[in-house]
Amino acid sequence: MSPRKSAVETAATRTRIIECALTLASAEGLEGVTIGRLATELGMSKAGVIGHFGTKEALQLATLDAAVEKFADRVPARAAGADPGVDRLTRAFDEWIAYMADEGHGGCFLTSVATEFDGRPGPVRDAVLAALSRWSDYAAAELRTAVDAGDLPPDTDVDQLVFELGGVGLAAGQAIQLHRDPAAPERARRAIDRLLGR
Amino acid sequence: MSPRKSAVETAATRTRIIECALTLASAEGLEGVTIGRLATELGMSKAGVIGHFGTKEALQLATLDAAVEKFADRVPARAAGADPGVDRLTRAFDEWIAYMADEGHGGCFLTSVATEFDGRPGPVRDAVLAALSRWSDYAAAELRTAVDAGDLPPDTDVDQLVFELGGVGLAAGQAIQLHRDPAAPERARRAIDRLLGR
DNA sequence: CCTACCGATCGGTAGG
DNA sequence: CCTACCGATCGGTAGG
């Protein structure tokens, strides 16, 4: 850390690095974010970049953390105003799909990193797993509320439904990122409406 | 190429390299397959490895090609004996799921590479897109047969159904590779049976 | 936060 | 198919 900069400035630089890492990782994957490239892109030295994190793995974890926080601020947060149960979950999935379709995100950061690290044990894989589990738990809780409210049949298999809803999200992500299919969001919404009995 | 080896031996070495690349790529991604690591793993020199392909990109394309061929030999080929339409498609998806659950494949090679290269334009991305389109076309054709045979409603939206079936496959892949959930194949089969009205 | 540097590895080539 | 080599880049450190 520079003794010439205030703590506020140091934190701002750290944020700049992470924002840049998010952009690079969207295109090249989290492993493809190199310290040298971040330094060039930000007009800093490599030592200046890595000094904020210590190791590349710590930088990866910080980047992932920022992505998870952005997702939480956008998706569940915007659905929080809707009625618990089917309404809120429909709204949350709509937000997820809109988030993936947004330019600049490079689709769903979380699902990309999940694929990238599913065969590489370690802290990054663990963190991805934890973040996805939180999202699954959120969906399962809303589904149970919907069952209790009578908006879904009492014999609903909640875990099965979470699995299938997740599949729709993954299909939407692939259709958007790989096939660049403009119909993808609409297809995803239709699938979700059917799964939630609307 | 070595002047001391026959064409048969040369082809066998090429196959060995590609097999090794498939194994490495299952864990580390296609970009993570380095020429040096292949050389070490195979007990060859780097020049000996790259000589068979010319460039790393050509090696990636050859590896992807081999994966596509393996998939075609296993999945649609084993379903070919079933009755066209719902039966054959159900069988094909069962084979796909079993293929993903098999140890050693590292899940579905094709879907991993699809995520890895969805943001990197170039020949590899194009080849992945082509392979996935072939699979989608296959599913769509079987679905149309099923509609014509009256096994699916006449107003079936075939493209929508292909989208949703693909989502189930992606969900199964993630559940197997990341969550290591032994219930994943069964969940996927249940979802597919429901989508195909069984 | 920088300069200067480390050993390791990258993809690839020349020449045999 | 090998040895020997190329310039570039990797993650990271020492010292200021």
Domain boundaries, chain B: 3-62, 75-195
Per-residue pLDDT of B32-49, as tens digits, reads: 999 999 999 999 999 999
Calculate helix-pair angle for A56-79, A86-101, nearest 10 degrees.
Answer: 130
What whole-number distance in Å separates Cα of residue A111 and Cα of residue A119?
14
Q: Is the CB of B25 under 7 A from strand C?
A: no
CA distances from A185 to B82, B139, B172 (A): 34, 21, 21
Indicate whether B1 pLDDT > 50: no
Chain B: closest CA distance from residue A169 (Å): 7
What whole-number distance in Å separates Cα of residue A161 and Cα of residue A196?
9
Contacts of A184 in chain B (CB under 8 A): 163
Q: Does A120 touch chain B (CB under 8 A)?
A: yes
B3-62 and B75-195 agree in CATH topology: no
Indicate whether B158 pLDDT > 80: yes
Rg over CA atoms, chain B: 19
As a rounded value in angstroms, the CA-to-C1' distance for B12 and D4 is 27
- The amino acid present at A64, given as its one-letter code, is L
What whole-number distance in Å separates Cα of residue B152 and Cα of residue B163?
16
Indicate whether B104 pLDDT > 80: no
CB B87 within 8 A of CB B143: no
Start-to-end CA span in chain A (Å): 55
Q: Is the CB of A5 under 7 A from strand C?
A: yes
Of the candidate CATH numbers 3.20.20.80, 1.10.10.60, 3.40.600.10, 3.40.50.1860, the domain formed by B3-62 belongs to: 1.10.10.60
pLDDT for A2 = 44
Which pLDDT band holds residue B2 (cuts at 50, 70, 90)? very low
Q: In sequence order, which ranges of B119-182 are alpha helices (DSSP H)?
A: 123-148, 158-177
Rg over CA atoms, chain A: 19
What whole-number distance in Å separates Cα of residue A124 and Cα of residue A186?
32
Per-residue pLDDT of A156-176, as tens digits, reads: 999 999 999 999 999 999 999
Question: Which structure tokens are listed for A140?
Answer: 């399962």
Q: Is the CB of A47 under 7 A from strand C?
A: yes
Q: What CATH number should be reported for the domain whose range is B75-195? A: 1.10.357.10
Inter-chain touch B175–A164, beta carbons under 8 Å: no
Which pLDDT band holds residue A1 (cuts at 50, 70, 90)? very low
pLDDT average, residue stretch B133-148: 98
3-state secondary structure of B47: helix
